[in-house]
């Protein structure tokens, strides 16, 4: 039976705030036009566009969920969490190195506090955004089962079009400083662990963290974190209405020449039916549907990490999905973090490479 042998992941007894929602992600790209073309084909709607930034949304009322700022190089900047009250912004603004409360110059407005997590990612807390009007989307298709057939004299003809992304679901990060970073999100945003996958020595390889919404069900994970040798964006995931939307997304993205990463399949932890695609800078984006939701009552599960444990069915996870790009900068980070991070060792990296390399 798998057992966790480290302090994190764990619930914090008195977090600074409890985040209400994953609001948006922040990216930088050298070519906004190409970024917009991929994201529109992926199913996100453009909210506003300028020479400096691009904002996109799903059909849900969030005014935007994805910002692309013009940058010299492609990169992932950080995360925005929505909090319930201005008092929560005030508590966050008193943390070391936090910004003061300031107006958010984003679609929907509101106020924000900017922070930096222990791995160097920007984390923004936002409150007071004005919701947008929901966009129309098709209903889930009725499914006939052997003993229950609601569709009589009808056919299945989902539209041949980019799948309608409804909302941003989760983001997955790799970090060298796993214990400090995981503990920071639990302490300051109240995230609670749903499941953790551990190495043979009991140290965590991956944790799936969800929002603490009490009795209200929350996604199995809003932020997942994997042990890596440097801070990296792994992927982000966007919910669509049903399995046919996932499949139509694969057809359309393939026809339009984008690069497939992995899928279609069903995950084990979280249970989502998934399909992964790469944007023009090799950043992975996931369509998903039918994910698990947990209330705060559900305790953390502990599981051994295995390659087979990534999916219940579908094609095996390709080695390219997790294989790092060993650029000169990455090799320098590897050497630096092996000397510095208490969570890293050569033995652990070899174990991870054997599992996922």
Q: What is the DSSP string of 255-274?
A: HTTPEEEEEEEEESSS--EE
Q: Which residue has the tokens 């992304």?
A: 165
Compute the distance between CA of residue 206 and CA of residue 298 in angstroms, rounded to an integer.
Answer: 18
Beta 167-175 vs 223-227: how paired, if at all?
Answer: parallel
pLDDT of residue 325: 83
Residue ranges and CATH numbers for the domains of the chain are: 21-133+162-356 (3.10.180.10)
Dihedral (CA of 157, 162, 165, 170) sign: positive
Q: Which residues contact 142 (CB under 8 A, 6 or more apart)?
A: 150, 151, 154
Q: What is the pTM of this model?
A: 0.97
Dihedral (CA of 221, 325, 347, 311) sign: positive
Which residues, listed in sequence order, are joined to residue 304 by a DSSP beta bridge?
Answer: 198
pLDDT, tens digit, 9 for 90 and up, residues 196-222: 999 999 999 999 999 999 999 999 999
Dihedral (CA of 110, 18, 210, 234) sign: positive
How far, CA to CA in Å, does 247 sit from each of 76, 135, 237, 243, 288? 27, 21, 15, 6, 10
- Helix-helix angle 32-42:243-255, to 10 degrees: 140
Low-confidence ranges of the chain (pLDDT < 50): none
Compute the distance between CA of residue 57 and CA of residue 71 in angstroms, rounded to an integer.
Answer: 21
pLDDT of residue 357: 67
pLDDT of residue 308: 86
């Amino acid at each position: 039976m798998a057992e966790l042998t480290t302090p994190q992941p764990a619930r914090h007894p008195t977090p600074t705030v409890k985040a209400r929602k994953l609001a948006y992600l922040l990216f930088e790209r050298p070519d906004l036009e190409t970024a917009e073309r991929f994201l529109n084909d992926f199913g996100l709607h453009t909210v506003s566009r300028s020479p400096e930034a691009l904002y996109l949304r799903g059909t849900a009322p969030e005014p935007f969920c994805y910002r692309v700022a013009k940058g010299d190089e492609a990169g992932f900047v950080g995360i925005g969490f929505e909090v319930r009250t201005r008092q929560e912004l005030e508590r966050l603004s008193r943390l070391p190195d936090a910004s003061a409360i300031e107006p958010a110059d984003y679609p929907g407005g509101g106020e924000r506090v900017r922070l930096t997590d222990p791995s160097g990612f920007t984390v923004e807390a936002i409150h007071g955004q004005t919701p947008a009007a929901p966009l129309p989307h098709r209903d889930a298709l009725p499914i006939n089962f052997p003993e229950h057939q609601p569709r009589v004299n009808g056919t299945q003809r989902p539209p041949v079009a980019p799948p309608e992304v409804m909302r941003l679901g989760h983001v997955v990060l790799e970090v060298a400083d796993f214990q400090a970073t995981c503990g920071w999100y639990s302490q300051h945003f109240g995230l609670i662990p749903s499941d953790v996958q551990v190495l043979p020595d009991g140290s965590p390889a991956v944790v799936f963290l969800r929002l603490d919404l009490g009795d209200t069900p929350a996604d199995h994970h809003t932020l997942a974190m994997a042990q890596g040798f440097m801070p990296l964006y792994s992927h982000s995931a966007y919910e669509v209405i049903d399995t046919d939307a996932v499949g139509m997304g694969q057809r359309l993205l393939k026809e339009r020449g984008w690069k497939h990463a992995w899928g279609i399949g069903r995950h084990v932890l979280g249970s989502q039916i998934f399909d992964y695609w790469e944007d023009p800078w090799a950043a992975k984006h996931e369509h998903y549907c039918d994910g698990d939701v947990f209330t705060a009552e559900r305790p953390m599960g502990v599981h051994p990490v295995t390659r087979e444990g990534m999916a219940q069915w579908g094609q095996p996870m390709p080695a390219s999905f997790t294989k790092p790009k060993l650029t000169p900068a990455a090799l320098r980070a590897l050497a630096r973090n092996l000397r510095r991070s208490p969570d890293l060792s050569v033995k652990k990296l070899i174990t991870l490479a054997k599992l996922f390399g």
